[in-house]
Structure 1
């Protein structure tokens, strides 16, 4: 059995980062779900995690080969300041909150001063159920279900969870925990998308695509099968989404900024259009997409976007 003592901890996909993003204006929080070895959905972006054994050997292990207990015992290689733990304990005190009113008892100053760098939010690993318990009810969830393509599974010699079982586990938690919370599902995997729609109609299902970008065929993406025609172009994605009765697509903002006509193409089929990508932290790009009618914009760094928006507003006022 692998004994995991330490880990490189990513800043995203933590409860504290969710709360901070909301304080900076996010209406919904997007996060990634994977399944542990003992079938517990956990919030984690990458398929692998770098661990260090007690002998000091660093190695990569896939999330679905770790139990929840093993994952939760992992700790950052650099210990986070004690003040962060204190801030999280105050947030947990309001774990049953149904509104963000209680969240304001954890002040903006407390969050800001407890961070080692203003653009980096630390926190531990969490389960899907933790998110429902710790994040106020009026914060919406954009739940991305991660599913590695066969190339990724073969490369790292692991087997992904069976799709039908994976979806059932996720939906069971949502049905029991969501109450009135806004929830929507995202996935790059077209078969996961079909299952999500076939099993429920209450929550929107959106198909993630990264096509129409310069490096689509040249950069290895563990989520995407570039040869699957259902998602290797935006027009194909629109046709697929219509055929299986999904609610919309989510594409890289690069595609929309380079070709504005895609917005009309999606909306003409009565579908939602969301975007993601590094260009969404630029308020100019956000403004362009808003004016085009993009329905939702997913930004990786709300603190940075908020600062840039304030800078732009200050500059316009000084003019």
Structure 2
């Protein structure tokens, strides 16, 4: 790293003076991301004249995954596909259906129900358990009941502190969205598809191949007050975390059309540069009044999210519905730059959803699929049955994504 300065009396056409340097050697980077402070050495007296602070992110290749340029959807979107319905966590947060059946979010039954109700794609959240297995769950903490003498006590523990078998054995509580309080709900605990914490592999096996996936990679954000989301500690290295997710996706996708997304800008960068097959969306936060913004400014506004998506060559962004409805001109800011635009957290009535579709949004992450218009269309990643059989899908995967390791041979 070379440092040049202009002299105080330098002429307009006079070049700058070479004054200092520093060598950034690989051994000073001890992890995948962080911040380092390095000294700057004077070029002629060889003494330290100052320091520079550097934020860094190292992207390493994912082991056992082979990508070439034969087929890639990283920047592809059919321009005719707009206004698609995406089932947000399936049917939405703990939704009561018309027949009074309580459906838990991010479960197999909720994802299936969203498809039956007309969703073109389904969205769900994925994070790692303690034994590094991708599991489907939204919150970073699990709320559950424990017996304390003569009464039940509510406790919470970070998801990353529990093994998969421990998570599946918990008697989990739910947070009522309206009351923001924890209560025990009557779910069908004896039916596997109703149980929380399904693994990503189980979801791939349970949902038909013709259904597209919008997989949100959960990664705890550092807040502006320096606290971490979920009040826990990040126990995984970013490269290892993303590698495990991608390995599972590549192993079980079998030609399914998939979109990846995340609130964390660096995780989006890792997802983008570790593979060139699946597109990546950057989710913006636009913190509502009273909430604590992230320390990283990139997801904190729609404008900075658009700039980051352009810089990292992502497919597009996902914005809050409330932000878009407050200033609809922001949609053009993204679309005019060639970005695909989704919106999420839609508790809006049908007329608001109609407004979003008229604005040209490519997809709407909809919470209550039972209340949307019942029009079944071919999703943007849905392979039509009359054109592509399962054998053709598998052949496409074998040709376009040749794995190097026997464990990644596609069935």
Question: Would you call these one fold, judging by a TM-score over 0.5?
Answer: yes
Tell me, yes or no, if the aligned pair for 2:103 and 2:110 is still in contact at 8 Å: no
Residue 85 of structure 1: aligned partner: 191
SS at match of 2:112: helix
The 1:10/1:162 distance shift into structure 2, 3 A limit, reads farther
Q: Alpha-carbon deviation of 1:157?
A: 4.1
The structure with the greater share of residues assigned to helix is: 1
The 1:154/1:185 distance shift into structure 2, 3 A limit, reads closer
Residue 139 of structure 1: aligned partner: 211
Residue 69 of structure 1: aligned partner: 165
What does 1:239-318 align with in structure 2 at a 5 Å threshold?
239-280=307-348, 282-306=349-373
What does 1:31-110 align with in structure 2 at a 5 Å threshold?
31-55=124-148, 56-76=152-172, 77=184, 80-81=187-188, 85=191, 88=193
What do you get for the CA RMSD once the two structures are aligned? 2.5
User: Take 2:249 and 2:188, find their aligned partners in 1: how far apart are those partners?
Assistant: 33
The 1:155/1:183 distance shift into structure 2, 3 A limit, reads closer
Tell me, yes or no, if the aligned pair for 1:41 and 1:128 is still in contact at 8 Å: yes
Q: Deviations over 1:45-77 (max 9, x none)?
A: 101111233544431101000001100112355
SS at match of 2:126: strand
Q: Alpha-carbon deviation of 1:228?
A: 2.1
Q: Alpha-carbon deviation of 1:158?
A: 2.6
Q: Alpha-carbon deviation of 1:78?
A: 5.1
Q: Deviations over 1:214-236 (max 9, x none)?
A: 42xx313xxx61x4232222121
User: Take 1:156 and 1:263, find their aligned partners in 2: how far apart are those partners?
Assistant: 34
Which of these residues, 285, 300, 325, is aligned with residue 210 of structure 1? 285
Which of these residues, 19, 22, 25, is aligned with residue 115 of structure 2? 22
Q: Alpha-carbon deviation of 1:156?
A: 2.6
Task: Tell me how many residue pairs correspond in the alignment.
Answer: 258
The 1:162/1:291 distance shift into structure 2, 3 A limit, reads same
> Unaligned regions of 5+ residues in structure 2, if any?
1-93, 95-101, 173-183, 376-411
> Which stretch shows the higher mean deviation, 51-60 or 195-204?
51-60
Tell me, yes or no, if the aligned pair for 1:273 and 1:294 is still in contact at 8 Å: yes
Q: Alpha-carbon deviation of 1:155?
A: 7.1
User: Take 1:123 and 1:20, find their aligned partners in 2: how far apart are those partners?
Assistant: 14
Tell me, yes or no, if the aligned pair for 1:248 and 1:273 is still in contact at 8 Å: yes
> Unaligned regions of 5+ residues in structure 1, if any?
1-7, 89-121, 310-319
User: Take 2:188 and 2:264, find their aligned partners in 1: how far apart are those partners?
Assistant: 38
Tell me, yes or no, if the aligned pair for 1:148 and 1:160 is still in contact at 8 Å: no
> Which stretch shows the higher mean deviation, 260-269 or 60-69?
260-269
User: Take 2:318 and 2:131, find their aligned partners in 1: how far apart are those partners?
Assistant: 30
User: Take 2:160 and 2:264, find their aligned partners in 1: how far apart are those partners?
Assistant: 17
Residue 198 of structure 2: aligned partner: 126
Q: Alpha-carbon deviation of 1:40?
A: 0.5
The 1:214/1:79 distance shift into structure 2, 3 A limit, reads closer
1:166 counterpart = 2:241: yes
- TM-score computed with the length of structure 1 as normaliser: 0.74
1:230 counterpart = 2:292: no
Determine which structure has more spread, i.e. the larger CA radius of gyration.
2
Q: Alpha-carbon deviation of 1:32?
A: 0.5
The 1:11/1:81 distance shift into structure 2, 3 A limit, reads closer
Tell me, yes or no, if the aligned pair for 1:153 and 1:160 is still in contact at 8 Å: no
Which of these residues, 169, 188, 191, is aligned with residue 263 of structure 2? 188
Tell me, yes or no, if the aligned pair for 1:188 and 1:209 is still in contact at 8 Å: yes
The 1:81/1:72 distance shift into structure 2, 3 A limit, reads closer
Tell me, yes or no, if the aligned pair for 2:168 and 2:195 is still in contact at 8 Å: no
